[in-house]
Amino acid sequence: MAAEESFDVVVIGSGSAACASALRSAVGGLEVVVIEKSEKLGGTSAMSGSGIWIPANHVAAREGIADSREEAIDYIRRASPPGWAETEAGLWEAFVDYGPEMLKFLEDHTPMQLRVIEEPDPMTEVPGGKLRGRMVSPMPLSRNLLGDNAKWLRRSTLPHSFTYQEITDNDVYHHPIRAGLKLWPRLLWRKLTNAGGQGTALMTALIRGCTDAGVAFRRETPARGLLQDDTGAVIGVETDTGRLLARRGVVIATGGFEWNDEMRRKHFPAKMDRIGSPRTNTGDGQRMAEAAGARLDRMDQANIYPCLPTKYEGQRHGMPMTWQVEPHSIIVNRHGRRFMSESDFNIGEIMDRRDPATGEHLHLPCFLIGDHRFLLKSLPFRWYQSYEKGWVQKAETLDELARKLGLPAEALKAQVLTYNAMCDAGRDADFGRGETGWETYKAHADGAAPTSGIDAARARGMDRIDHAPFIGITMNLTTIGTKGGARTNDKGQVLREDGSIIGGLYAAGLAMANPIGTRALGAGTTIGPNMTWGYIAAETMLKQNR
């Protein structure tokens, strides 16, 4: 007979949403177990850059940065896709209400030390947008804080020896050697002390905080299904080794379904070039929730973000990196035409646009078109592109390049001529490249650049494409996590198709129907909201009598 154990809360998954929920539950006096199907702890969050977007947070307030609930809600409403407020408004308000409380709680109950990141909201021009204060990230921590679990913390494809701010301040992508020489004393110290920043620091802090609060972690314990009583309420989890009963509730925080080929192709029919999350993200939470009667929603949403080819744990993988924004290049669709600013933070949403009538992608496949100076801008790009032979195509003429890529040559040549003319004039008259607060920040422009001519274009991150050999790079979808799953209410409770609550079942993070979808409202609008939803689920369980 299978073993049976009883806890107050069973959390499925070990990423940031899961640990935020487990920690809040345990500090509130509940007995909590976290089960993780992999041998590694930390999920996608451990691999991340750990940008955390929380409006009106205490870290910004410490620095005297003004923000408010009203401004944040106004920004989210205006920056989100049309129609989303009809279903997501209540969840947005709960996120804004609980997010600052959650962040303060984590800093108070873990070794985490947060600092403000000097990044603006991607849509600063929208009312309620901010140039600074909503993005925070943890300072480095030693994995040794985890004791026996240190060796099981998931590693990243990103350089976690740096902090988030060090990456941006020192432009590590373009100047890795210079950055390493500048920061070598602290990098050496981190190496000697087994320390890391970004997702390493985040998950080290959360797992240590959970352990100190009495949370039990069970690695290599996949959940096979949810246990329900006669009323349909969830009362526990079935695993390979037995039944884990939950007196207060079960939290599904298992991540996305991007590594489930069948589910991904159903909801993202375009070719997926690369995935940057752990291969364990196979939709287990979505499958279990649906089997328990949950309504799945927002299944066509994802964190679609540029990824460079790399290897991870010996297999082909993607590394999240903004590699496509270089002066001597543009992005065109399969018709050979530009369709966005290449610097737009939400490039993934734009690439994924589909015909509402047919579901066909409007732009894919896309192609980066540039001249040989693109390859001179970044040593890391030249290194990582070698993982996929033939990914970068070269040609002496645009006609030849178009033939290699399967693009209409005349349309491509006309587009390059138009772009070059806009570079000479000093601005992108079609899509305003380099002119928003976000794009100005990323172009490192200081606001005092010329207003016309090639120097003005260069200040906006633009320059002519006219020095052969020309290059062409195929761009399909890449993702670091899908964002669809069980529909929840503003208390984190999972809902059925008819809107009723499935008792005892909660979902958070990328396993829920995420109220912030493919269109990201900030660079940290995955981890920040996800942790908040884990925290909200715990708050609800603490207030329940069951």
The arithmetic mean of pLDDT across residues 50-56, rounded, is 96
Rounded to whole angstroms, the Cα distance separating 93 from 77 reads 10
The boundaries of the domain holding residue 364 are 319-478
Largest CA distance in the chain: 78
Q: Report the alpha-carbon distance of residue 5 to residue 434 in Å, rounded.
A: 57
Q: Annotate 486-510 with three-state secondary structure.
A: ECECCCCEEEECCCCEEEEEEECHH
310 within some domain: no
The per-residue pLDDT for range 126-160, each reduced to its tens digit, is 999 999 999 999 999 999 999 999 999 999 999 99
Predicted confidence at residue 137, as pLDDT, reads 97
Identify whether 440 is part of a domain. yes
Do 131 and 86 share a structural domain?
A: yes
Tell me the pLDDT band of 453, cut-offs 50, 70 and 90: confident
Predicted local confidence at residue 447, as pLDDT:
52
Local structure of residue 334 (DSSP, 8 states): T
Same domain for 400 and 442: yes
Classify residue 429 by burial, with Cβ atoms within 10 Å: 0-12, 13-18, 19+: exposed
Last residue of a domain, one of 478, 503, 519: 478
Residues 474, 495 within the same domain: no
Last residue of a domain, one of 478, 512, 527: 478
In the structure encoding, which two tokens stand for residue 428, read together?
């992108």
pLDDT value, residue 17: 98
Within a domain: residue 301?
A: no
- 426, 451, 478 - which closes a domain: 478
> What are the angstrom distances between the C-alpha of 5 and each of 237, 241, 244, 504?
10, 11, 5, 17
Pseudo-torsion of CA 213, 238, 546, 13, nearest 10°?
A: 40
Whether residues 367 and 501 fall in one domain: no
State which amino acid sits at residue 364: L
Mean pLDDT for the chain overall? 95
Number of domains present in the structure of the chain: 2
For the beta carbon of residue 358, count every other beta carbon within 10 angstroms.
Answer: 8
Question: Which residue intervals of 163-311 are DSSP H helices?
Answer: 164-169, 176-192, 198-212, 261-267, 284-291
Contact by Cβ (8 Å): 355, 447: no
CATH number of domain containing 176? 3.50.50.60
pLDDT tens digits, 87-121:
999 999 999 999 999 999 999 999 999 999 999 99
What pLDDT shows up at residue 377? 87
Q: What is the pLDDT of residues 480-519, one digit of tens each?
A: 999 999 999 999 999 999 999 999 999 999 999 999 999 9
Cα gap 448→17, rounded to integer Å = 42
**Same domain assignment for residues 251 and 365:** no
Q: Is 293 a domain residue?
A: no
CATH number, domain of 464, equals 3.90.700.10
Q: Given a cut of 50, is residue 1 above it in pLDDT?
A: no
> Are 214 and 342 contained in the same domain?
no
Residue 466 lies in a domain: yes
Whether the CB-CB separation of 525 and 271 falls below 8 Å is answered with no
Task: Tell me how far apart the alpha carbons of residues 42 and 198 are, in angstroms, rounded to a whole number.
Answer: 12
Sign of the CA dihedral running 322, 328, 332, 334: negative
Residue 286 lies in a domain: no
* Structural contact between residues 432 and 461, judged by C-beta atoms closer than 8 angstroms: no
Taking only the tens place, the pLDDT of each residue in 162-182 is 999 999 999 899 899 999 999
Sheet holding 477-482, edge to edge: 272-275, 477-482, 302-304
Greater model confidence, 437 or 94 = 94
Residues 6+ apart with CB under 8 A from 224: 238, 239, 240
Residues 206 and 125 in one domain: yes
For residues 191-204, average pLDDT: 97
Looking at the structure, tell me whether residues 423 and 512 fall in a common domain.
no
Short-list 215, 302, 244, CA closest to 479: 302
Question: Burial level of 28, CB count in 10 A (0-12/13-18/19+)?
Answer: middle
541 DSSP β-pair partners: none
Candidates 47, 405, 65, 458; CA nearest to 258 is 47
In a domain, 194, yes or no: yes
What is the residue type of 398? L
Query: Residue 449: its pLDDT value, please?
Result: 62
Residue 356 has a CB neighbour count (10 Å cut-off) of: 6
| One-letter amino acid for residue 394 of the chain | K
Question: pLDDT digits over 376-412, tens only?
Answer: 988 889 999 999 999 999 999 999 999 999 999 999 9
Exposed / middle / buried, residue 39 (Cβ in 10 Å: 0-12, 13-18, 19+): exposed
Among 339, 359, 356, CA closest to 347: 339
Is residue 469 located within the same domain as residue 497?
no
Percent of the chain with pLDDT over 90: 92
Same domain, 473 and 488: no
**Domain match, 471 and 505 both:** no
474 and 382 inside one domain: yes
The kind and range of the H/E element at 358 are none
CB 521 within 8 A of CB 126: no
Note the pLDDT of residue 359: 86
Cα–Cα dist 361/352, whole Å: 7
Mark residue 336 as left, alpha or beta (left: phi above 0; alpha: psi -120 to 50; beta: remaining): left
C-beta atoms surrounding 117 within 10 Å = 25
Position 544 confidence tier, pLDDT thresholds 50, 70, 90: confident
Q: Residue 439 domain-assigned?
A: yes
Contact 267, 485 (CB under 8 A): no
